Amino acid sequence: MAESGFSFSRGDLVKERSLLDVYKIARLSPANGSNVFVATVAFFISATYSIISFSHPVDVLSLLRQITGDAIAFAASILGFLIAGFTIFVTSRPSIFYIMAKNEYESTGVSYLKYNLSVFLLVFIHYLLFSISCLAIRVFFSTNGPASVILSSIPVSPDALTIIKSSGICITFPIFTAWLFYILMLLKSFIFNIYHIVLTGIALTIDDDGNEIK
């Protein structure tokens, strides 16, 4: 693949100022279909359970608390492992990354380097936000915790308060469950992306006849 003539500079390489900027680059490519499918199935199964258990929100909340407790430890350990592995990976082949920085990704105005690295970081972003969400649920939705105290202070009838609590719990549970399955599937994508970024870097160093570009 010959160089595209895509111009880049040192300033362009470091112009992103936040994870939100990186996320915008990663979203240039649509989400993996199998990941979305698994998350969607998990959502509908969890939503069905929530609807059936609407009159017993304590059971749903108890299950949600149990899952978040395990998910915090899981997400934190996986995030640490991914960061360590990613750090080793990106420092191992600087020459390939330089070539990728000089080539534009599919007329998007973004280099192959930024696009591929942003896809990696998308996994980190999901795991970081998921860990924060788990912690928030554990802290604010604990027994007699902040959420319970605040809701109890709302000047509404007991029946209305019960409906509010049940609705909040039964909406949160399927969303959280779907997200959990989605980040699990992201591990599959992360492994494939390691394979893909290496081959992409090599492909950018050769022409259509397989000869190395000087």
Burial class of residue 95, CB neighbours in 10 A (0-12, 13-18, 19+): exposed
pLDDT at residue 5 in the model: 52
Q: Is 212 helix (H, G, I), strand (E, B) or coil?
A: strand
C-beta neighbour count of 133 within 10 angstroms: 19
Using alpha carbons, select from 53, 32, 72 the residue that is nearest to residue 182: 32
Task: Reply yes or no on whether the pLDDT at 39 is more than 90.
Answer: yes
pLDDT digits (tens, 9 = 90+) for 136-155: 888 888 777 788 788 778 78
Burial (CB count within 10 angstroms: exposed 0-12, middle 13-18, buried 19+), residue 107: exposed
* Distance from C-alpha of 157 to C-alpha of 175, rounded to nearest angstrom: 28
Least confident of 2-6, 96-100, 103-107, 165-169: 2-6
Q: Is pLDDT above 50 for 1?
A: no
Q: Which of 37, 6, 27 lies closest to 109 in space, CA to CA?
A: 6
Number of domains in the chain: 1
- pLDDT confidence tier of residue 2, bands split at 50, 70 and 90: very low
104 - beta bridge partners?
A: 111
On whether residue 133 sits in a domain, the answer given is yes
pLDDT in tens, 68-118: 888 888 888 888 888 887 777 777 667 777 777 777 777 777 887 888 888
Per DSSP, which regions of 46-196 are E strands?
none
State the pLDDT at residue 92. Answer: 67
Q: Is residue 102 part of a domain?
A: yes
Decide if 16 contacts 112 (C-beta within 8 A): no
Which residue matches tokens 């081959």? 199
Average pLDDT, the chain: 81
How many DSSP H helices and E strands does the chain contain? Answer: 8, 0
Q: Is the pLDDT of residue 214 over 80?
A: no
Residue 189 maps to a domain? yes
Q: Is residue 73 part of a domain?
A: yes
Under the banding of pLDDT at 50, 70 and 90, the label for residue 46 is very high
Tokens of 7: 């111009």
- H helices of 91-145, where? 94-101, 112-140
105 secondary structure, DSSP code: S
Tell me how far apart the alpha carbons of residues 115 and 105 are, in angstroms, rounded to a whole number: 7
Residue 113: both structure tokens together: 């380097």
| Domain coverage including residue 195 | 32-203
Q: Is residue 22 part of a domain?
A: no
Provide, rounded to the nearest whole percent, the portion of the chain with pLDDT above 90. Answer: 14
Residue 122 lies in a domain: yes
Q: Is residue 144 in some structural domain?
A: yes
Let me know if residue 99 belongs to a domain: yes
